[in-house]
C-alpha cells in the first residue's frame, strides 16, 4: 500500500513539475516583443555588433551596398532566427558605423498583430498608432510609436500583407520622426489615425516634387512687384519660420524648416527690409532619383529656359533657368542636384528679382561644353 502511495505521490509531483516548466516557457509573441524591447532599450547600442544580442540569431558580415536602400541605408547585414518554430529573416540597415533599421520577415505562421501589441504592453512598452493605411488602397502596414521610460524613442511597423497576399513583417526604427514614405505610398497612408477610418487623410495627394513645384509657382511675384516678408510667409504656410536677423548691406535674412510630403527642406529667405529677393530650398536627405521638377513647371504653363550651367566635374549639377509667364515677373531658378548612386539630393534657389550671381570663370553658356 505504501509503495502504491509513493508511486502516486511521485507521479503527481512529476506532473506538477512538468506543468510548472511548461507554463514558464514564454509564448512566441512574448519572445518577439522581448526582441523589440531589447532593440529599443535606453542602454542599447546601435553599433552593428549589437544586433548579435538578439537571442538565437545568426548574422553574416556587414557589407557596403552598391546602391543605397530606400530607407537611406548604404550598409546592410543579413541574419536568421528561429522563434517559436517560425523561421525569421533578419536584415539590419544603416550607415557605416550605426544601425538605423532592423527588419524581421516571418516566413511561417503569423504571430498576429494584436497578440504582439498585447505582449509589448505586458513587457512595459506602450504603443500609439502613428500611421495607418487609407481604406481602399494597397496600404498594408501600421506604424506604432513605442513609448516607455526605459526605451529610446522609436517606431515599430507591422506589415500584414504583401501585394494583397498574406505575409507578416516587422521593422524597428529609431528617433522621434516617422520613417519616410516612398512617393508612391503617400496617397496610401494617413497620419491621422485616431478619428476613424472615414476621417483618414492621406499624407499627400501628389508627388513631393509636384508639391514643391507648386510652392515655386505660388511664390512667383506678380507683375506689380516683389512680395514683402509677411506675404512670403503666407505663401509658404507649412514652413516654420525663425526670427528675421540683419545681414550685410542693410538687408535681412530669415530661415525656416519646411516639410513637403515627408521631404524636409531648410529654407532661407533674404532681401531688403521691405522685399524678399531670394529664397533657397535645401533638401536635408537623399531620395531616389527619377523626378523632374522642371517638367512639372512647364506643364503648369511656365516657360523654363536654360540660362547658365555650373562648372563640370563637381559634386553637384548647378544650372540656372529663367522662369517666365504672362502674369508674373520673370525669376531665375537654380537647380542643384547631388548624385549618390541611385539616390539624389535637391537644392533650389529662387531669385525673385531675376538677377544672377556673379559668374564663376568655369560657368558655361547654353550649347557650350555640354551645357544643355
Give residue-wise pLDDT tens across range 237-273.
Answer: 999 999 999 988 889 999 999 999 889 999 999 999 9
CA distance 216 to 264: 16
User: Residue 27 — very low, low, confident or very high, per pLDDT cuts 50/70/90?
Assistant: very high
**Residue with grid cell 488602397, as numbered in its chain:** 137
CA distance 20 to 71: 45
Domain ranges of the chain: 26-199, 208-351
Percent of the chain with pLDDT over 90: 74
Residue 21 has pLDDT above 50, yes or no: no
Percent of the chain with pLDDT over 70: 92
Determine the pLDDT at residue 194: 78
Determine the pLDDT at residue 198: 59
Determine the pLDDT at residue 24: 63
List pLDDT tens digits, range 274-308. 999 999 999 998 888 889 999 999 999 999 999 99
- The CA distances from residue 287 to 71, 139, 196, 272, in Å, are 9, 21, 31, 34
Tell which residue, 118, 44, 55, has the closest CA to residue 90.
55
Determine the pLDDT at residue 200: 85
- The CA distances from residue 222 to 135, 152, 235, 344, in Å, are 41, 49, 13, 32
Determine the pLDDT at residue 318: 93
Compute the C-alpha angle 362/366/372, nearest 5°: 100
Please give the helix or strand (H or E) that residue 280 lies within, else none: strand 276-283
Cα-to-chain-centroid distance, residue 350: 26
Residue 17 has pLDDT above 90, yes or no: no
Amino acid at each position: 500500500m505504501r509503495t502504491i502511495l509513493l508511486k502516486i505521490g511521485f507521479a503527481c509531483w512529476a506532473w506538477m513539475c512538468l506543468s510548472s516548466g511548461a507554463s514558464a516557457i514564454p509564448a512566441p509573441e512574448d519572445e518577439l516583443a522581448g526582441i523589440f524591447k531589447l532593440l529599443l532599450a535606453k542602454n542599447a547600442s546601435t553599433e552593428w555588433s549589437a544586433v548579435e544580442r538578439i537571442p538565437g540569431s545568426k548574422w553574416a558580415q556587414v557589407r557596403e551596398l552598391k546602391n543605397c536602400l530606400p530607407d537611406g541605408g548604404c550598409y546592410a547585414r543579413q541574419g536568421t532566427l528561429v522563434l517559436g518554430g517560425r523561421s525569421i529573416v533578419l536584415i539590419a540597415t544603416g550607415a557605416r558605423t550605426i544601425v538605423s533599421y532592423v527588419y524581421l520577415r516571418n516566413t511561417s505562421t503569423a504571430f498576429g498583430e494584436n497578440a504582439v501589441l498585447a505582449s509589448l504592453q505586458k513587457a512595459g512598452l506602450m504603443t500609439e498608432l502613428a500611421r495607418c493605411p487609407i481604406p481602399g488602397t494597397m496600404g498594408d502596414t501600421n506604424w506604432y510609436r513605442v513609448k516607455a521610460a526605459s526605451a529610446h524613442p522609436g517606431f515599430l511597423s507591422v506589415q500584414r500583407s504583401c501585394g494583397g497576399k498574406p505575409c507578416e513583417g516587422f521593422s524597428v526604427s529609431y528617433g522621434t520622426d516617422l520613417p519616410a514614405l516612398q512617393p508612391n505610398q503617400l496617397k496610401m497612408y494617413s497620419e491621422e489615425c485616431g478619428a476613424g477610418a472615414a476621417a483618414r487623410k492621406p499624407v499627400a495627394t501628389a508627388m513631393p516634387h509636384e508639391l514643391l513645384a507648386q510652392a515655386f509657382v505660388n511664390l512667383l511675384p506678380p507683375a506689380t512687384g516683389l512680395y514683402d516678408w509677411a506675404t512670403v510667409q503666407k505663401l509658404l504656410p507649412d514652413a516654420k519660420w525663425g526670427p528675421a536677423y540683419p545681414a550685410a548691406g542693410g538687408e535681412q535674412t530669415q530661415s525656416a524648416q519646411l516639410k513637403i510630403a515627408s521631404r524636409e527642406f531648410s529654407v532661407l529667405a533674404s532681401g531688403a527690409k521691405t522685399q524678399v529677393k531670394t529664397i533657397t530650398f535645401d533638401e536635408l536627405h537623399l531620395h531616389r532619383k527619377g523626378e523632374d521638377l522642371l517638367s512639372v513647371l512647364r506643364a503648369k504653363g511656365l516657360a523654363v529656359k536654360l540660362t547658365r550651367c555650373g562648372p563640370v566635374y563637381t559634386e553637384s549639377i548647378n544650372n540656372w533657368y529663367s522662369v517666365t509667364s504672362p502674369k508674373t515677373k520673370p525669376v531665375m531658378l537654380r537647380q542643384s542636384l547631388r548624385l549618390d548612386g541611385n539616390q539624389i539630393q535637391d537644392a533650389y534657389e529662387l531669385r525673385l528679382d531675376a538677377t544672377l550671381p556673379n559668374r564663376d570663370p568655369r560657368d558655361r553658356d547654353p550649347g557650350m561644353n555640354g551645357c544643355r
